[in-house]
Structure 1
């Protein structure tokens, strides 16, 4: 029974690896520009990868819960969980943002002059995610709440972007096709992951309303916003989570 939580964690990693394949598996077509032919990767969003990140987040939630219920928590399980998270909630979002940047530059007239330097900032997300996870494993202050935004929250936020592009609630897709908005998002996410800012954990330790009202408020806001905002609910709830943590900082 002690391997059950590890198996669930590996399911998280499997979903992350499969999501990477989905991001990479994009059709290519030939285009002619100034008499030269170029091979261009289709800039269409990676919808299946988004679904796999959500599924991985479910596995990530249940592996820790299962370990506590079976009383089989172990240092190996903690390390394995971080290794899985850095792939699913670090590498995959980085690759999604890379694709989004390519798509944004693809809309510009000088698309053929875009170099790797323009797209490389997207890869800062997995770097900062890895640093945040390594720090989490060593930081004894983060037993109940977090310091810095947890990587699953970042992964779910970025995974919502392709779906927002697809369904375009409130015409938000245009913002995700702006390179400067994407650069700003990358910078903000990298900072929030490693910032010394106490962040709420969604774990409910007791039934006290006084101790849990910020978590309950977040749940209520999520349920109310889903029918109104559609997939834009994810960035809305992410912003609410950060603001709520700043206004009502949890004890660490």
Structure 2
């Protein structure tokens, strides 16, 4: 039983590794354009990878809870959790954004002039996620709430993008085929992960409503928005989360 939290963490990592395979698994075909042969990779959305990120988030939520219930929290589990998170909630969303950028560039008339430099900004997400996770491990102020947006929140947000492209709620899909929207999204997410902004966590230390009303509000908004907004509920909740954390900053330990 003592290894159960670590097993859950490894399930998180397994989902992340499998999500990477899904992202990389795209059919290629040969095409002749103006007498020149090209190898083209179909820029299809990575729906299965999105589902795996959600499943990994569930494992990530329960591994810490189980460790506290069993009284087996320790440095080993903390380090293992960060190693798993940097893959699942850092590398995976970075690769998703890479593929989304590639798909967006396929809409451009000069698609074959696009270089790796145009797509490389997506890889800043795993870099900033790794920095944020390393900082979290040594920052004693984040025992109850967070400083900067946690990596699972960023990963779940990015994981919603392919699903919004697929189901196109409220005709939002075209926004995720715009290269500048994607570049701005990457810059904002990288900043939020390392910003010195107190952020609400869903850890309930007491049962008092006065201490947890922001958490209950977020949970309520999530439950109410999903039936109406569908997958667009994820960006909506993310924005509400950031705004509420800035408007009502949670207490941070000294």
> Which whole-Å CA distance do the structure 2 matches of 1:105 and 1:231 have between them?
24
> Which whole-Å CA distance do the structure 2 matches of 1:103 and 1:183 have between them?
13
Superposed, 1:171-190 pairs within 5 Å as: 171-190=171-190
Residues 1:39 and 2:21 are matched in the alignment? no
Q: Hey, what does 1:28 align to over in structure 2?
A: 28
Q: Hey, what does 2:155 align to over in structure 1?
A: 155
The Cα of 1:137 is off from its aligned counterpart by 0.1
Give the CA RMSD over aligned residues.
Answer: 0.6
Superposed, 1:135-146 pairs within 5 Å as: 135-146=135-146
Unaligned runs of 5+ residues in structure 1 are none
Q: Hey, what does 1:240 align to over in structure 2?
A: 240
The Cα of 1:28 is off from its aligned counterpart by 1.0
Superposed, 1:27-176 pairs within 5 Å as: 27-176=27-176
> Which whole-Å CA distance do the structure 2 matches of 1:20 and 1:7 have between them?
20
SS of match in other structure, 2:30: strand
Structure 2 length as normaliser, TM-score?
0.98
Q: How many residues align?
A: 252
Unaligned runs of 5+ residues in structure 2 are none
The Cα of 1:32 is off from its aligned counterpart by 2.0
> Which whole-Å CA distance do the structure 2 matches of 1:139 and 1:157 have between them?
25
Deviations 1:57-112 (A, max 9, x none): 00000000000000000101000000000000000000000000000000110000
Which has the higher mean CA deviation after the structures are superposed, 33-42 or 2-11? Answer: 33-42
Deviations 1:7-42 (A, max 9, x none): 110000000000000000011122222211111111
Deviations 1:176-196 (A, max 9, x none): 000000000000000000000
> Which whole-Å CA distance do the structure 2 matches of 1:157 and 1:119 have between them?
19
> Which whole-Å CA distance do the structure 2 matches of 1:242 and 1:230 have between them?
20
Which has the higher mean CA deviation after the structures are superposed, 186-195 or 207-216? Answer: 207-216
> Which whole-Å CA distance do the structure 2 matches of 1:126 and 1:106 have between them?
24
SS of match in other structure, 1:108: coil
Structure 1 length as normaliser, TM-score?
0.99
SS of match in other structure, 1:141: helix
> Which whole-Å CA distance do the structure 2 matches of 1:41 and 1:156 have between them?
25
SS of match in other structure, 2:224: helix
> Which whole-Å CA distance do the structure 2 matches of 1:193 and 1:93 have between them?
13
> Which whole-Å CA distance do the structure 1 matches of 2:125 and 2:15 have between them?
19
The Cα of 1:113 is off from its aligned counterpart by 0.2
Residues 1:219 and 2:219 are matched in the alignment? yes
The list of structure 1 runs, each at least 4 consecutive aligned residues, that deviate by more than 4 angstroms after superposition, is none
